[in-house]
Structure 1
């Protein structure tokens, strides 16, 4: 592409290029005022994928949820429950076959030991010996509900919950495991990090289980779930940082315990002196995360996708099936008053405990977890640039409607590719800005196309509004590509219409009266022609010329030209009635129609041009109009026109040689569709007489014509159309001449006309 052509292209595409730059800016540097709205829209597209696409693979493990629901609160009591209830609940679940119990309940405060408190306040303890007092204290301490709960956890795999805080230094409970000496032992997350690691957003406080419970549990994890900007929870962190230490989420820790893995190993990618978190290694499985350790929640449906059991039913031994056999049981609450209901893409009241269960279920099949790779930004840049440049190449070549179709197709393609990456490759890539780019570019090009189309319509109107009927012009506007102003040869039908004795009529009126009379006449004739999709070629004096089949192709051009001629004759009858009522001269016309190959196009000089037809076939149409006066009929068509419009009825008039033509042709008078007996029978008799005439059986032809003449005198009330009486007289004169002197050996039945 030369420099000048490049400049022209850039000038034409300046607005689309600006729109492309706008979308690229929104992708990487969104204005603060729009960022929240863009995130909300992107979130809605993500929600649609979660809601309407088929669910992820079925669970490979038995996941159960024990729900502290409204019925449990009513039957057992309001929260917080006595630790003995949780100790009994854990025991019941273990006896029912549960392999892991995960509590989405915070045990950050110790429960008072009622027995020990009562012993300290007992007035008579002073009378006891030291041995008795120590025995009672030891016995009362053994009744501590926290210690009993902790003792139960020694024989059952239990994972407890903690909560991390960003504000303040509040710290309750024990977030790590401690040894019997009170020292913190190794965390379940490997803490070694390479130099230059991307920092996590740190937390400053926590609320964790009390030391006795934390020390007895198999593990603990945070239950923080941070919503997106629009308040919906779509992703969760598997790792968070507190005091420069990494801690696991409740679901991740539950998966570690379930997998019998000692430590979780963060996977780091080192590049150019920096280290980025890629995921978490658990045994041989890599769970891919973003740089902040987050994953998208693999929702499997709406709330209560997993089996729920009421905590009261478990505590009261009302469950007698095997639902908890080899199960991972999550204990939480869906009760409204306990504020553990979250807004998610699949439900506005999604229990928090089921979020942890869903994440745990996804960790069981890490290859099916939706994942946004590190290279997503580069992929989006490439997609936007390729799509934008393709649109800049495609849309200028299309019309408005084609642009709409192309835009919809490209949107479907973009959505289809995105969904394919989501379902097959398990990749989550943004979709909003791709669709936004397509919408902006398609709206621009469609709007520009409509402006260009309006300009083109005006041009077409300027050329054809004086020639074509409005409906015909509309067809041209709907398909401008079908218009060709260049000269071409086409099979067309041409019509000539002339007023009989116009000179005599013009002498009866003044110039102003003649102008008004002609204008009224031309208006009626033009209306009849355009009503049958004819193209007005020109008006010459009192003559009207029209043709059919151009500029738009018309397969039935011959039939429509004849029907237009009938309409012109009928319209003239009504017009003559108005002329007579106004005391003006009436008009009589002759119409000639021929069908043949003609040259059609925009012709003329540099000063004046017109869309017209020329050629020998056009001249023949004019000759036929002139012959109508000779035969005394208002309409004549050639045998070529009759062949093209064979569905109509015709009366053979003659076989003639017109001036300038050596080859004879047959000419016909089309019969109106409402012609009835006995006139139709008379026309048939006339054609039988002509058949005998052309076979030189002149006596037989004469007898048939005389009989027909007598029949017409009897049926004197028949309409004048067709003018059989005049034609009979014409042929009787010819027959008489031939009977006196033969037609000659070379006579072929034709009659030669020397005048136009």
Structure 2
């Protein structure tokens, strides 16, 4: 019945899905889809730029000022030798990389002409020959440059080209991998036929080198760069990768293949490049072309604020103080327009090529390279099938408004997943084809609903509209009854209460607008943390909030997510207070109560105002625990149900209490930031605390006093130990009744 009623709509939806699948697989590339993907990536990149200075990397710029003061390019190699000596001897830099190739001999000194005279016209002039021998060293600028490079941490640059054997100049460095390392897998490396490399004399003095080619997309924008490239069956590293490996020390480059349990051996891509060294390995994720997206930091150039630029002429003239660049990583390049090293990037239409390498090196150092993985094709096809089939079958059952909401929800989910993969995993996945598919399916739904199905629906409405609810009418049109969702259910959840401390006194001297700003900043940050850990924000309660885990999205580790959220909320407090102080607002503090158990979850509001919430004893106890954090001086207090549901976390037992109105005892815990197994001081403190608790509950006041005294010496600022020391002193004077179980009675919130 469904197929008969909605056959034309499903046929059009299938056609739209096939077109998008053809684009994704490369059978029918669609420029307008690719352009949207580029636009999405560029917009997201610009929106998430760090905008901060990376002080580790300095760019020595052969700028227009340097060309005006030293002379037009190419400079004599004596200037490059002086620059290298200035960087290493006077500035004491850590590493120098050249975004320049030295492919031609330096003939600026006239040495070649003098040697020609010595071989011909003046070969019989002993004085001339002797003087030439004396001058040969100072006039051999290439040798002087090679001497300056020799034995120093320098990475030279070179380039590949597609000119074949006719375009091969200079001496290539040693490859970092051979075809045999790939175990027969046909990996899609960027392949080049020719190259322009450095003079053999310079390559011998500085044997480490990296190519500086980029990979412009179809629109000419440089978004990515290869990390390895193939030439005659051997694989060579890029300039940023070569510099990164030089910084790491002795490392070998090996292909990182995905586990064969997930992908067949015929899979052509690499998952990563592995840098192996004694004691460990580092995996760098790569894309289908064994490259990575450039993690641009800012708009580029000396005024961009991402890297410090130093004019080469200032270094040659000794204008920088000695050691001003100590331990910096230096890239030598140019921003002069006449030297043709300016590129179009997502963050600037005229962007220095040397800064693109600096960004890639910075990303390697931070381990934050975004990558469009080789399996992005499989991801795109899978998401197209899921979204396309799901919407094609779902939309016909919905009215236009509900269909719009459904499409928006699917789009939001796709965008959210895409952004999460980018922000959390640094994976850049295709999105444009999914957005276009959702849009096309919605348009098809509206057209079919109006043109094909609108008339029978309107006829039905005229007959049944006054007698049936809109939902019933939808069921009648679709001829398939819908399933009503459960209104409420009992299930295990973890409930969190977070409440500001002393808010009444804190807010009393503030203006109303300041109170609003303070609460907005606090609740916004805490809500972000809850969302990051996939929690459900129940409500804001005065100066606090309530959240829970386990519903409506089931998760086996819901308790661990709740504890992780509580700890991250505590970690977020310091930067939050810093932001508050910057706006002239007071610091805040809060307590968090967390409890796990069965509760009633569902729409528990009124007919006028629905409210998806959670009710029950578990909720009440969580609220009580939040209040108790003040007494014990801990940021987070959880019940034993949470500890049992998250046994792998590190915990410290706090107390055993009897809450008013509850029969059984409740053991309280607080999560630890570190594991006692790896922190000897913490393990010693916990052992002393357990002995103190044991003595306290056994009414061995002397032993408890000794342990608590030791604990106060170990951690003098801990309110928990002071509280128990006070209790011991009080119980000495007023002993507990017979049969006392060591529990503290909590009479009120």
Residue 232 (structure 1) aligns with? 221
In structure 2, the residue matched to 1:49 is 44
Aligned with 1:160: secondary structure? strand
**Residue 442 of structure 2 is aligned to residue 442 of structure 1:** yes
Aligned match of 1:285: 282
The separation in 2 between residues aligned to 1:264 and 1:379, in whole angstroms, is 28
Equivalent position SS for 1:300: coil
Structure 1 residues 437 and 139 mapped into 2: Cα distance closer, same or farther (>3 Å)? same
Quote the offset at 1:420 in angstroms: 0.5
For 1:210 and 1:252, the matched residues in 2 are separated by 21
* Secondary structure, counterpart of 1:348 in structure 2: strand
Instruction: Point out where structure 2 has 5 or more consecutive residues left out of the alignment.
Output: 475-749
Aligned match of 1:170: 166
Contact 1:203–1:242 at 8 Å: present in 2 too?
yes
1:332 maps to what in 2? 333
Residue 277 of structure 1 aligns to a residue whose secondary structure is coil
**Correspondence 1:607-646 to 2 at 5 A:** none
| Residues 145-186 of structure 1, C-alpha deviations (whole Å, 9 max, x = no match) | 110011011143211111111123234543335xxxxxxxx5
CA distance in 1, matches of 2:199, 2:451: 74
* Counterpart in the other structure of 1:701: none
Report what 2:181 is aligned to.
193
Deviation at 1:247, TM superposition (A): 1.1
Partners of 2:81 and 2:389 lie apart in 1 by 66
Matches within 5 A, 1:455-470: 455=455, 459=459
**What is the SS of the residue equivalent to 1:280?**
strand
1:156 matches 2:152: yes
For residue 410 of structure 1, report the CA deviation from its aligned partner: 2.1
Change (3 A) 1:281 1:483: closer
Structure 1 residues 126 and 369, CA gap change in structure 2 (3 angstroms): closer
Q: Is the 8 A contact 2:100 2:156 kept in 1?
A: yes
Q: In 2, distance between residues paired with 1:282 and 1:57?
A: 28
Contact 1:170 1:206 in 2 (8 A): no
Distance 1:138 1:291, change over 3 A: farther
1:356 counterpart SS class: helix
| In structure 2, C-alpha distance between the alignment counterparts of 1:323 and 1:449, rounded to whole Å | 71
Change (3 A) 1:483 1:364: closer
Q: Residues 482, 127 of structure 1: CA spacing in aligned structure 2 closer, same or farther, 3 A cutoff?
A: closer
Q: CA deviation at 1:353?
A: 0.4
The equivalent of 2:400 in structure 1 is: 400
Cα separation, 2, equivalents of 1:102 and 1:483: 72
Note the C-alpha offset of 1:74: 1.7
Alpha-carbon shift at residue 52 of structure 1 (Å): 1.2
Correspondence list, 1:713-728, <5 A = none
1:25, distance to aligned residue in structure 2 (A)? 2.0
Q: CA deviation at 1:280?
A: 2.0
CA gap 1:11/1:255 in 2 versus in 1, 3 angstroms? same
Choose the corresponding residue for 2:76, options 57, 76, 82: 82
Structure 1 unmatched runs, 5+: 178-185, 465-472, 485-756
In the superposition, relative to structure 1, how do residues 57 and 291 fare at CA in structure 2: closer, same or farther (>3 Å)? farther
CA distance in 2, matches of 1:19, 1:329: 51
Q: Residue in 2 aligned with 1:355? A: 356
Range with greater deviation from structure 2 (277-286 or 243-252): 277-286
- Cα deviation code 1:632-688 (max 9, x no counterpart): xxxxxxxxxxxxxxxxxxxxxxxxxxxxxxxxxxxxxxxxxxxxxxxxxxxxxxxxx
2:289 partner SS: coil
- C-alpha deviation, 1:213, in angstroms: 0.8
- Matched with 1:91 is 85
* 1:205 alignment counterpart: 194
- The range that moved more, 278-287 or 7-16, is 7-16
Instruction: Determine which of 227, 243, 255 is the counterpart of 1:266.
Output: 255
Displacement of 1:46 in angstroms is: 1.3
C-alpha distance in 2 between matches for 1:427 and 1:275: 19
Taking a change above 3 Å as real, the CA distance of residues 386 and 171 of structure 1, as seen in their structure-2 partners, is closer
- How many angstroms apart in 1 are the aligned matches of 2:65 and 2:130? 43
Cα distance 1:432–1:83, how it changes in 2: closer, same or farther (>3 A)? same
Against the structure 1 CA distance between its residues 110 and 219, is the aligned structure 2 distance closer, same or farther, given a 3 Å change threshold? same
Alpha carbons 1:362, 1:369 under 8 Å: kept:
yes
Distance 1:409 1:229, change over 3 A: same
Matched residues in 1 for 2:458 and 2:106: separation? 88
Mapped contact 2:170–2:198 kept (Cα < 8 A): yes
Within 5 Å, which residues of 2 pair with 1:1-80?
10=7, 13-31=10-28, 34-55=29-50, 59=54, 62-80=56-74
SS in 1 for 2:192: coil
Contact 1:261 1:282 in 2 (8 A): no
Structure 2 counterpart of 1:342: 343
Residue correspondence of structure 1 range 513-552 to structure 2 within 5 A: none
User: Within 1, Cα distance between the matches of 2:471 and 2:269?
Assistant: 58
Query: Root-mean-square deviation (CA), in Å?
Result: 3.4
Q: Tell me the CA shift for residue 114 of structure 1.
A: 2.1
Secondary structure in structure 1 of the residue aligned to 2:60? strand
Are positions 1:415 and 2:415 aligned together?
A: yes
Specify the SS of the correspondent of 2:36: helix
Match of 1:553?
none
Secondary structure in structure 2 of the residue aligned to 1:169: helix
TM-score of the superposed pair, with normalisation by structure 2:
0.56
Which SS does the other structure have where 2:59 is aligned? strand
Whether the 8 Å contact between 1:190 and 1:263 is mirrored in structure 2 is: no
| In 1, Cα distance between equivalents of 2:134 and 2:271 | 52
- Over alpha carbons, which structure has the higher Rg? 1
State the Cα distance separating 1:424 from its structure 2 match.
Answer: 0.5
